[in-house]
Homo-oligomer: A and B are copies of this chain.
């Protein structure tokens, strides 16, 4: 259980860098974000950035996912009432991505995924798999208890809910704003169509 030789990496820099990325993303898009600016704001050498992240895309991805993981990942509640649980989940996420700061971060993440040919799949998995699995599990549970028909595909439901949110956040603050009633209507339609 020994330590590799040499000076160990400064763990506090990690958080400082991710903070710098997020702060800069509030006022600039992914393309406008420069590694030099990140290094300058985090008071860090560029070498330190490239020692830890291969390029801008994974750095931005980690910065966004880090924030998302801390404040934006609402596990699907399980009160026994699927309809109410999905209402809760969708409204929570809808409010989260409506927050301009959060919307900017998510747009940056999409840009990071779309930027490089190779990394996009990995990034999307990091982002969507945890969210998806909560939803899928909750729906599958409802199927198992007989609350939903046996032939319901949980993936279909998860896709419709998450896709609605993604489309909304990518459509911009104006075009995509859905109100609570619309979230409710979506869940109602899906649930009523599945019973």
Q: What is the interface of chain A, defined by CB distance below 8 A to chain B?
A: 28-32, 107-108, 110-111, 113-117, 120-121, 124-125, 128, 151-153, 155-157, 159-160, 162-168, 170-172, 174-175, 178, 181-182, 185-186, 188-194
Which B residues lie within 8 Å of A181 (CB)?
153
A170/B113 in contact, CB under 8 A: yes
- Copies of the polypeptide in the assembly: 4
The answer to whether A186 touches B28, judged by C-beta atoms less than 8 angstroms apart, is no
Instruction: List, in ascending order, chain B residues with CB within 8 A of A172's CB.
Output: 120-121, 124
12 extra A-B contacts, CB within 8 A, seeds A113-B170, A124-B172: A28-B117, A29-B120, A31-B114, A107-B120, A111-B114, A121-B174, A125-B175, A152-B189, A155-B182, A163-B163, A190-B193, A193-B194
